[in-house]
Chains A and B, each alone.
Chain A
């Protein structure tokens, strides 16, 4: 067994996990399958690209900028669009977020063209070499940043008043309203928070992958699989799901055939759904 393969899988999995956190949160708390997350991810990647390209700002330092802009955009979209559609139910929300995704994606296409772009700071490509195993610094830093972000978000949800309010709203909106939680505000906050996190994921991803308006679309399938694997609404679940998917892909590519990567991932998904329909770390009451 090749250690490099496991490392590749783990580093990739961390990214998948981070990309899926926002999606999972929205699904868990608001019961929305937010297909616009792919576009937010792409936007985050572009923010990093432009800041790096125009002013040479280190990509890691662009994270707060991405977070802020996406938080604002998320808030705007939730309060102006999502909120108005909420009462029409699950399917209508799916349509709306799908439309939003198309709109944003094509806006980026018009604004920035379909050119492929990359963020290449001076330290890109450098890495540790331990006993023949390569660990690229950027990917390692990405992985650590992903864990940190998920960790902070988990602490926020569990230890702060607002975080508890979000979780309470997820459990039962009516009851949360009754005990004085402004659930409308909580919804807007959750949505913005999720957009900010996926925006930061996009910023990190831009350092490893090529940025084009299509970037988020390619990640959406992974995000969906990771979320269902881990259980919606569960942040540690998203990370676990990401790691499982990353490692499965790496193993399939190395030991079976790279061409079967997607097939094996989906077989795994189906198998896990049969035995644990709520996902690996999902709880029954979330997202119902």
Chain B
């Protein structure tokens, strides 16, 4: 059978191509020449510049770059009286965890970096954290908060975000105050570490608070169609739809729901309100959609490197001509944390900086930063809830941060 052999051959070749793509070349350089006598601290960052998470990866990079710029303008990081300019070595992990792990190993062994700023997403961070642990290098992950990541006993891993499990709790709290008849909740999640953690957290919280979870399921991360799930959710009569996916998942769910005439009273997504693309992409269909919000420029936090949250937003806008999303803010604050810990330790030795991290207690534009023994930031506790109203994102919950009354039910 000539055909059969041909198909086997193709399958084989495809697999090999994929494998080879995974290995990849080195790429990237170690940076330009610096003037004599100028000391440079090299920091490694493997990020997703291409692939599924490229959008989020690029936002993360903007945050890192803004911090680097700010630090270097002020002369650099002060290590026991000596100023070190900061330089970040970037690598593209193509949104693949294994590739990220490989690149991280390469940065440690070949570029000799001691400190790593994390990749985007919990799944990829899990891979790089293991490598950093092996070589005893410090990693600060701005955007990885799956609980399992912090249950590995890693001593070199520090996260900026509160745990993912709390992400959508605010939406449920808000729902209770809006309408006592809101009972039926549907939760959908792509099959990815972070998303599943949020979904599990939301399910537990919903059940503990008297909601009835009528639909709960996951789908493959690369799914291009959610019609079937939405059909089942519609049939189950869910009044609240919670989606825990990334940006593309949220857009897909909204469009599929509209196609199928499904109109829940509340629709909320983990990543939706926080990225402008979401409302640009959906236009009027985005109206009334809620999202968890780790950080917004109107939160009343302030710190000494970037000033207040509002100052940060202004600086960001001046640099990139767009409003900052929390990704970039978290990335910038990861840099701030590393800087503060190094300055506090007065040393570039990993062990000393780690000790300084453990006892860090600072105020930043992101909020208070304090780590527990697992490396989770316990300075702030959970996410606020925002909603898209007239094309703008406004914080609607908790009441002390409220900018506008919630729009209910969703139009």
Interface residues of A (CB under 8 A from B): 2, 4-5, 8-9, 11-12, 33, 90-91, 94-95, 98, 105-106, 109, 113-118, 120, 124-125, 127, 129, 134, 136, 138-139, 208-210, 212-214, 218-219, 221-222, 224, 228, 249-251, 253-254, 257-259, 261-262, 273, 277-278, 282, 284, 287-288
Asked whether B208 is an interface residue with its Cβ less than 8 Å from the other chain, the reply is: no
24 contacts between A and B (CB under 8 A): A8-B227, A94-B13, A105-B50, A109-B50, A114-B54, A118-B255, A120-B285, A125-B258, A129-B261, A134-B261, A136-B259, A214-B51, A222-B224, A224-B14, A249-B228, A258-B223, A261-B219, A277-B4, A277-B7, A278-B3, A282-B3, A284-B3, A287-B3, A287-B6
Asked whether B403 is an interface residue with its Cβ less than 8 Å from the other chain, the reply is: no
Given contacts A219-B224, A261-B219, contact A139 B259 (CB under 8 A): yes
Proximity string of chain B (176-209) to chain A, C-beta cutoff 8 Å, 1 when within and 0 when not: 0000000000000001000000000000000000
* Cα A219 to Cα B281 with chains together (Å): 20
Which A residues touch B10, using CB under 8 A?
Answer: 33, 94
- Leading 4 A-B pairs by shortest Cβ distance: A253-B228, A258-B219, A125-B258, A114-B54
* Cα A134 to Cα B229 with chains together (Å): 14
Q: Are B228 and A5 neighbours in the complex by a CB distance under 8 Å?
A: yes
Chain B residue with Cβ nearest A9? B228
* Interface-central residue, A5, A113, A139, A214, by most chain B CB under 10 Å: A214
* Interface-central residue, B54, B220, B259, by most chain A CB under 10 Å: B259
* Cα A208 to Cα B231 with chains together (Å): 17
B7-64 residues at the A interface, CB under 8 angstroms: 7, 9-10, 13-14, 17, 50-52, 54-55, 58
Q: Are A214 and B52 neighbours in the complex by a CB distance under 8 Å?
A: yes
Q: Are B259 and A127 neighbours in the complex by a CB distance under 8 Å?
A: yes
Given contacts A116-B248, A218-B224, contact A208 B232 (CB under 8 A): no
Q: Are B2 and A288 neighbours in the complex by a CB distance under 8 Å?
A: yes
* Cα A4 to Cα B229 with chains together (Å): 11
A12 in complex: contacting residue of B54, B220, B227, CB < 8 Å: B227
* Cα A2 to Cα B251 with chains together (Å): 25
Q: Are A277 and B3 neighbours in the complex by a CB distance under 8 Å?
A: yes
Q: A11-B227, A224-B14 are in contact. List 7 more A-B contacts (CB 8 A).
A: A94-B10, A95-B17, A115-B55, A118-B255, A120-B282, A222-B224, A278-B3
* Interface-central residue, A12, A117, A208, by most chain B CB under 10 Å: A208
Q: Are A228 and B248 neighbours in the complex by a CB distance under 8 Å?
A: no
Given contacts A118-B255, A277-B3, contact A258 B217 (CB under 8 A): yes
* Interface-central residue, A9, A12, A258, A277, by most chain B CB under 10 Å: A258
Which A residues touch B225, using CB under 8 A?
Answer: 8, 12, 249
A254 in complex: contacting residue of B222, B231, B252, B280, CB < 8 Å: B231
Which A residues touch B283, using CB under 8 A?
Answer: 118, 120
Given contacts A228-B7, A254-B232, contact A136 B54 (CB under 8 A): no
Within the complex, what minimum Cβ distance (angstroms) separates B244 from chain A?
Answer: 13
Asked whether B247 is an interface residue with its Cβ less than 8 Å from the other chain, the reply is: yes
Which A residues touch B54, using CB under 8 A?
Answer: 109, 114, 212-214
Which A residues touch B222, using CB under 8 A?
Answer: 218, 221
Q: Are B231 and A2 neighbours in the complex by a CB distance under 8 Å?
A: yes
Within the complex, what minimum Cβ distance (angstroms) separates A261 from chain B?
Answer: 6
Asked whether B314 is an interface residue with its Cβ less than 8 Å from the other chain, the reply is: no
Asked whether B155 is an interface residue with its Cβ less than 8 Å from the other chain, the reply is: no
Q: Are B259 and A134 neighbours in the complex by a CB distance under 8 Å?
A: yes
Q: Are B259 and A116 neighbours in the complex by a CB distance under 8 Å?
A: no
* Cα A257 to Cα B281 with chains together (Å): 29
* Cα A240 to Cα B408 with chains together (Å): 45
Which B residues touch A250, using CB under 8 A?
Answer: 227-228
Within the complex, what minimum Cβ distance (angstroms) separates A285 from chain B?
Answer: 10
Which B residues touch A114, using CB under 8 A?
Answer: 50, 54-55, 58
* Cα A123 to Cα B119 with chains together (Å): 40
Q: Are B7 and A116 neighbours in the complex by a CB distance under 8 Å?
A: no
Which A residues touch B235, using CB under 8 A?
Answer: 2
Asked whether B1 is an interface residue with its Cβ less than 8 Å from the other chain, the reply is: yes
